[in-house]
Structure 1
């Protein structure tokens, strides 16, 4: 009887935690967005990347990271800048100013729980939906290369469309 009571209380405790987590996810105040997180104002013909992101839902935060070389691609040391906005039902537009015309790549993820951390599976592939410029398809368990995601940004900027990929669906 004592073990059954403990089991019931454990079940209730887990239910309360799950319910609390679901409520926190719907509460905009729980999202950690800082003033320097937000994307730049979109300007037609400005020196920026204007990214239209397809497949986002209005849950959590959408994050994009800007890179300009293979050295440090997809790592913190190679990142030029990152931006975050509250996720909206897609298509969602995010703009990021670039320092000069050149070759760049974008990577990012849909932070569903808004905790500012990408959840990963045991094999280090993303558990949360993600995006890569040029909509690279994963054909193997290797990391994507900069040249696969790279695109040119001219003096009038660049308009790109990137699709959210959710490996949970695979």
Structure 2
């Protein structure tokens, strides 16, 4: 009788241990995933290895070409820690993962930073950016979804309420010769 109780107890401990091991392994795997929840297939870039942050060759900014079909972005209020991230959106699925047209991550530098994003066709676009200070590839948010790291949007709309900005507040037109925009990052945690 005591042997049955001991056997049942040890079996339950084994099951609990196995479940904990599975959850801790999947939590570790999640840390390696990108924003889309998928495992990056490429190796960390040379600059990422030098700085000790998770940057991949596909994260790089496009080459800036004067008069090219691209958005030339100047980002202000950046310091030299972590990663600067920009996301390009069209009107469909604005601010949703499924709506991202292009994603750029580069090492953050002091002062204004210039980055370029090639666009497929002339048209209406919006750019969202944030300064990932700790370099964990995620925007930290408070319980009410208020960003805890500096962020900004094209057209620099003033956010007065706890709501996501509308596409009409952030969108701009990109002609064949491209366009220049400035995004002023705002730190709401200060």
Shorter-chain TM-score tier:
0.7 to 0.9
Measure the CA separation in 2 of the matches of 1:157 and 1:93: 15
Segments of 5+ residues of structure 1 without an aligned counterpart are 1-26
Paired position in structure 1 for 2:90: 68
- Corresponding pairs, count: 142
Paired position in structure 1 for 2:163: 142
Segments of 5+ residues of structure 2 without an aligned counterpart are 1-48
Q: How far off its partner does 1:162 sit?
A: 1.0
Q: How far off its partner does 1:28 sit?
A: 4.6
SS at 1:147's partner residue?
A: helix
Runs of 4+ in 1 over 4 A off after TM superposition: none
Task: Map 1:92-111 onto structure 2 (within 5 A).
Answer: 92-111=113-132
Higher RCO, 1 vs 2 (CA within 8 Å, ≥6 residues apart): 1
Q: How far off its partner does 1:30 sit?
A: 2.0
- Greater CA radius of gyration, 1 or 2? 2
- Counterpart selection for 2:106 from 85, 96, 99: 85
Q: How far off its partner does 1:55 sit?
A: 0.7
CA offsets 1:46-104 (integer angstroms, 9 cap, x no match): 000000011111110000000011x3111101111110110011210010000010000
- Counterpart selection for 1:126 from 135, 143, 147: 147
